Amino acid sequence: MTTAATSTAARTMESVCPLDCPDSCSLDVTVADGRVVAIDGSHANPITGGFICAKVRRFGERMYGPDRLLYPAVRTGDKGQGSFTRVSWDEAIGLIADRMRDARARWGGESILPYSYGGSNGLLTQDTSDATLFRRLGASRLARTVCAAPTGAANMALYGKMPSVTYEDFPEARLIVIWGANPTASGIHLIPYIREAQRRGAKLVVVDPRATQLARQADIHLPVRVGTDLPVALSLHRYLFEDGRADDAFLAAHTTGAERLRERARPWTFERAAAEAGIDAGMLRAFAELYATTTPALIRCGWGQERNRNGGSASMAILALPAVAGKFGVRGGGYTMSNSASWNIPRTWVRSDEAPTRTINMNLLGQALERSDPPISVLFVYNNNAAATSPNQRKVLKGLERDDLFTVVFEQVMTDTARYADVILPATTFLEGYELARSYGSFSLRLARPVVDAVGEARPNAEVFGDLLEALDLGQADEPRGELEEMLDVLSRLPETIGSDLRERGVATPPYGGRPIQFVDVFPQTSDRRVHLFSEDLDRGAPAGLYGYQPDPATARFPLALITPASERTISSTLAELPRPDVQLLMHPDDASPRGVADGDAIRIFNELGEVRCNAALGTGIRPGTVSLPKGLWCRHTANGLTANALAPDTLSDLGGGACFNDARVQIERVQ
């Protein structure tokens, strides 16, 4: 690789990171001789502040690395083996169109399943021509539930997804509660704002089974057992209601359902909740008192607490706290969840006039591939690495091995999923195409233009789905063709000022100056603009009712809870192909010693679904009874080619049909 220093032609181009991270950094990309040679943060987005994460600094290694997919290819060996032979784009598109036609004729359109999720947070690479294609085919719809489904359902029910407190307003808070989030890995640009708040005297509370970096600097750390956030949050509600700390005026003016929530919270005394969560009741009470008496108080609700059987009700109870305690109406008060809906962008470019078809929950991919009616005969994976990121990995892999399944994988690199493809299509990265990158942490919406030509024969999503529409005779003459046209079409359909800002300046002016105060600038987007503290619909759908607690599924055989938090090395499984140190399971010495496990020992982690072999790292950074592996590993990272997802159950959360990645129960043995 040429370096910027030695190349005379080096120049810096602006871009923006669209990966599935809340920060959406503005980037300075150094290009020399038509290649990306360096990537760093710029100041265009003030939140970025000139620095970015180490993994995206290495994005060039991904673009030009040995795993990059350069050409369309068809499978020559067994599924999963990873042997392919190059074909032309025309051949590949023709073959896929034929197989889709056959599937539709034989089983109906629903036998085709598009499978996509987190490749990019942008507006362009998902739900544009891809959605048009699959809707016109009458393909099965995908419920995109692998992430944020429980928190999304909770936030929608309570507030209709009201915009959140943004990063810049964190320093205004006198109390910050970080609940089930680890921004030190998962959204690093929030950290300076939390530090600034602490410098100004704010208190910090962290609710997390791990002693994360923030937890170690917190005034109160509640190291709850996995899946017990619901009783913990309900004990806070009980205290607020029963001790006269609830904001009755706010409840009367702005909420419905307070009495129902109060009823459900009533059984959860501090003592009972603390016993369930395995924490100190005095600490829990201290947290409750601090929250009740401090203003502005801000809760940053993450996603760690949603990935289990109680995740929906837990998230709802957490997000309801500022309403009951009366924490809205001041800068730096309220909650932060996801800001993805804050731009109020209706996706009018999705042509949704086709008749609805069956919906498949993406967390049940293994089951759906095993048995469904009609059977899935064509699987089209894009923006996703299902083999590494879906629950019940062995079942997913077994499904991908099916001889009668035709699998297309449209990818940037040779992922674990791509190895199972019948046809591989090479995709461009964000530095090789256009994107409209929207963050879900702070407020940011920016246009990214290609900074280099596509590598090899890689092509952007919009173009390839456009070609498939044409090959299947499903396109219409007046529709955009190709990525640039697609982008212009999207720009023209965005709310007027947003579209013109992006066209003229490449960046949209955020609504509310980017710093909305909840209940001053923004209000619930529910039907009656009130906070719905209770929902009869959700109550009917949840196995134990809304705010109903489902006990720990641990057994004597599988007593340890396995969690898989975001790691600083990857975004989900993206960038996992880059070289890294050996993967280790983090476990507490109290769990290791009765099992005869010493630091660095080879171990097997197992349950009824599967087994993972790696080495142990002992440490007190996690509570006893809980063990942790990084999220997003590839099969190459463990000794037996399976990852934590082989141990993650394909059960669903109480609300929203979400994944239960953090609800695995396992046993651990030392391996000789």
Ligand X SMILES: Nc1nc2c(c(=O)[nH]1)N[C@H]1C(S)=C(S)[C@@H](COP(=O)(O)OP(=O)(O)OC[C@H]3O[C@@H](n4cnc5c(=O)[nH]c(N)nc54)[C@H](O)[C@@H]3O)O[C@H]1N2
Instruction: Report the site for ligand X in 352-411 (rule: CB under 6 A).
Output: 382-385, 389, 410-411
Asked if 181 touches Mo ion (CB under 5 A), the answer is no
Asked if 186 touches ligand X (CB under 6 A), the answer is yes
Residue 115 tokens read as 């499978």
Residue 16 CB, nearest approach to ligand SF4 (Å): 8
Query: Using CA atoms, how far apart are residues 177 and 432, in angstroms rounded to an integer?
Result: 39
Q: Which is nearer to ligand X, 424 or 517 (CB)?
A: 424
Q: Which is nearer to Mo ion, 278 or 565 (CB)?
A: 565
Residue window 559-578: x/- pattern of binding to ligand X, with contact defined by CB under 6 A: ----xxxxxx-xxxxx----
Residue 195 tokens read as 């530090």
Instruction: Report the site for ligand SF4 in 301-360 (rule: CB under 6 A).
Output: none
Number of residues that bind ligand X (CB under 6 A): 61
> Out of ligand X, Mo ion, ligand SF4, none, which partner does residue 468 contact, by CB within 5 to 8 A per kind?
none
Asked if 52 touches ligand SF4 (CB under 6 A), the answer is yes
Asked if 28 touches ligand SF4 (CB under 6 A), the answer is no
Asked if 53 touches ligand SF4 (CB under 6 A), the answer is yes
Residue 21 CB, nearest approach to ligand SF4 (Å): 3
Asked if 307 touches ligand X (CB under 6 A), the answer is yes
Asked if 487 touches ligand X (CB under 6 A), the answer is no
Distances (CA, A) of 260 to 21, 230, 241, 256: 36, 15, 12, 9
Q: Which stretch binds Mo ion (CB under 5 A): 143-151, 430-438, 481-489, 558-566?
A: 143-151
Q: Would you call 253 exposed, middle or buried from its count of C-beta atoms within 10 A (0-12, 13-18, 19+)? A: exposed
Residue 431 CB, nearest approach to ligand X (Å): 11
Instruction: Report the site for Mo ion in 144-173 (rule: CB under 5 A).
Output: 147
Distances (CA, A) of 184 to 134, 166, 297, 326: 38, 17, 21, 29
Residue 66 CB, nearest approach to ligand X (Å): 15
* DSSP line for 491-557: HHHS-HHHHHHHHHHSBPPPGGGG-PPBTTTB---STTSSEES--HHHHHHSTT-TT--------SS
Q: Which stretch binds ligand X (CB under 6 A): 30-38, 115-123, 130-138, 346-354?
A: 115-123
Which of 181, 299, 400, 538 is close enough to bind ligand X by CB under 6 A? Answer: 181
> Out of Mo ion, ligand SF4, ligand X, none, which partner does residue 56 contact, by CB within 5 to 8 A per kind?
ligand SF4
Strands 611-618 and 35-41: unpaired
Strands 626-628 and 560-563: parallel
Residue 549 tokens read as 């607690």
Cβ contact 234:244 at 8 Å: no
- DSSP letter at 74 equals E
Q: Which is nearer to ligand SF4, 246 or 445 (CB)?
A: 445
Residue 258 tokens read as 């307070």
Residues whose CB falls within 8 Å of the CB of residue 199, separated by 6 or more in sequence, listed in order: none
Asked if 436 touches Mo ion (CB under 5 A), the answer is no
User: 273, 308, 318: which is closest to 654 by C-alpha?
Assistant: 308
Query: Using CA atoms, how far apart are residues 46 and 258, in angstroms rounded to an integer?
Result: 39
Q: Which is nearer to ligand SF4, 41 or 511 (CB)?
A: 41
Q: Which residues pair with 178 in a beta bridge?
A: 206, 300
> Out of ligand X, ligand SF4, Mo ion, none, which partner does residue 229 contact, by CB within 5 to 8 A per kind?
ligand X
Asked if 119 touches ligand X (CB under 6 A), the answer is yes
Instruction: Report the site for ligand SF4 in 563-602 (rule: CB under 6 A).
Output: 571
User: 615, 566, 662, 532: which is closest to 118 by C-alpha?
Assistant: 566
Which of 19, 222, 314, 472 is close enough to bind ligand SF4 by CB under 6 A? Answer: 19
Residue 117 CB, nearest approach to Mo ion (Å): 8
Query: Using CA atoms, how far apart are residues 301 and 148, in angstroms rounded to an integer?
Result: 11
Query: Using CA atoms, how far apart are residues 229 and 586, in angstroms rounded to an integer?
Result: 22
> Out of ligand SF4, Mo ion, ligand X, none, which partner does residue 662 contact, by CB within 5 to 8 A per kind?
ligand X
Q: Which is nearer to ligand X, 255 or 315 (CB)?
A: 315
Asked if 21 touches ligand SF4 (CB under 6 A), the answer is yes
Strands 203-207 and 435-438: unpaired
* SS3 of the chain: helix, strand, coil, percent, to 5: 35, 20, 45
Cβ contact 291:325 at 8 Å: yes
**Footprint of Mo ion on this chain (CB under 5 A)?**
147
**Footprint of ligand SF4 on this chain (CB under 6 A)?**
17, 19, 21, 23-25, 52-53, 56, 188, 571
**Footprint of ligand X on this chain (CB under 6 A)?**
20-21, 117-120, 125, 146-147, 179-182, 185-187, 207-210, 212, 224, 226-227, 229, 302-305, 307-308, 382-385, 389, 410-413, 415, 427, 461, 563-568, 570-574, 631-632, 644-645, 648, 661-662
